[in-house]
Amino acid sequence: MTVLTDREKEIVDYLYTAERDAREVIKITDKYPELTIEEAYGLQDRLLERRLMENKTKNVGVKLGLTSKAKQVMMGVDEAIYGYLHADMLSTEWEPVNYSELIHPKVEPEIAFLLGADLEGEDVTAEDVIKATKYVAPALEVIDSRYKDFKFTLVDVVADNCSSIKFVVGSKWISPESIDLGSIGMVMSKNGKVEQTGSSAAVLGHPAEAIAWSVKELSKRGKRLKKGDIVLSGAMSEAIAFTSGDSIIAQFDGLGSVSMFCK
């Protein structure tokens, strides 16, 4: 058991209940402008411990964020980040996402990696990531920042588990060796109309590079990626807002498609 300071307790409670009650809140750096990125990752850990306990769920992997220029420009930051995926965030294509449980959701296209081996250490390369990957699949990530107007600093978003709320993985999983993961074109449509196009090259040059980056970051904090983890490698384009009644589909060259419906 970790002993929390009063400030940690307050912030964890603030962010946990904001997600639980689908309520937007003022960003934490308005009250605590001196918080550092390291402290933000510490707060994320504490928030996730609380979430695992209260939601009676378990960890299923990691998500990378702000790995593409489009997303960095969109959010006004210039660094990638990571957060965690829990089993209760996994949604399926045939099960609608419930708008009433969300604040101001957006959806973004990603490539999911399923790991067949652990990855750890500060010198992990993109090749090591490919070797450790059993399958890749098309994915949609739903993000729902707990902060008012979806606006935050890097510290705020890291503490808020990088806006994570739901993700959908397509049903077709293929070997990473059977495709050039560095140049996968993608088209994302909402209600039949094209909203975003992108390429996997936008994700730090190659999604496996992005995952190698995350392994180094995790290692600095004594953590690693584990066999069986699902890793979302980061959005390939800007995220788009959706509401009740919307259908979203992302089609990826060579990987197939993944869809989502919001009720």
3 by DSSP, 3-state: which? coil
Is 4 or 225 the residue whose CB approaches ligand OOG more closely? 225
Q: HEC profile for 98-167?
A: CHHHCCCCEEEEEEEEEECCCECCCCCCHHHHHHHEEEEEEEEEEECCCEHHHCCCHHHHHHCHHHEEEE
Is 71 or 166 the residue whose CB approaches ligand OOG more closely? 71
Q: Give me the count of residues in the chain.
A: 263
192-221 residues near ligand OOG, rule: CB under 6 A: none
- The residue to which tokens 């496996």 are assigned: 208
Is 4 or 187 the residue whose CB approaches ligand OOG more closely? 187
**What number of H helices and E strands is found in the chain?**
7, 12
Cβ pair 119, 224 in contact under 8 A: yes
Out of 235, 248, 249, 255, point to the residue binding Mg ion (CB under 5 A). Answer: 235
User: Min. distance of Cβ 65 from ligand OOG in angstroms?
Assistant: 3
With CB cut-offs between 5 and 8 Å by kind, which of ligand OOG, Mg ion, none does residue 71 bind? ligand OOG
4-43 residues near ligand OOG, rule: CB under 6 A: none
Q: Which residue is nearest to ligand OOG (CB)?
A: 65
Helices 6-20 and 37-54 cross at an angle (nearest 10°) of 60
Out of 44, 163, 189, 214, point to the residue binding ligand OOG (CB under 6 A). Answer: 163
Measured CA to CA in angstroms, residue 257 lies from 48, 177, 225, 246 at distances of 30, 19, 26, 17
Q: HEC profile for 189-242?
A: EECCEEEEEEEHHHECCCHHHHHHHHHHHHHHCCCCECCCCEEECCCCCCCEEC
Angle at 166 between CA 61 and CA 24, to 5 degrees: 120
Cβ pair 201, 183 in contact under 8 A: yes
Is 137 or 227 the residue whose CB approaches ligand OOG more closely? 137
Cβ pair 4, 46 in contact under 8 A: yes
With CB cut-offs between 5 and 8 Å by kind, which of ligand OOG, Mg ion, none does residue 168 bind? none
Which region, judged by CB under 5 A, interacts with Mg ion, from 136-144, 168-176, 190-198, 206-214?
A: 136-144
Which region, judged by CB under 5 A, interacts with Mg ion, from 51-59, 83-91, 137-145, 223-231?
A: 137-145
Binding mask 85-114 for ligand OOG (x = CB under 6 A): -----------------------x------
Binding mask 43-82 for ligand OOG (x = CB under 6 A): --------------------x-xxx---x---x-------
Binding mask 139-158 for ligand OOG (x = CB under 6 A): --x-x-x-----------x-
Q: Which residues contact ligand OOG (rule: CB under 6 A)?
A: 63, 65-67, 71, 75, 108, 141, 143, 145, 157, 162-163, 234-235
Binding site for Mg ion (CB under 5 A): 141, 235
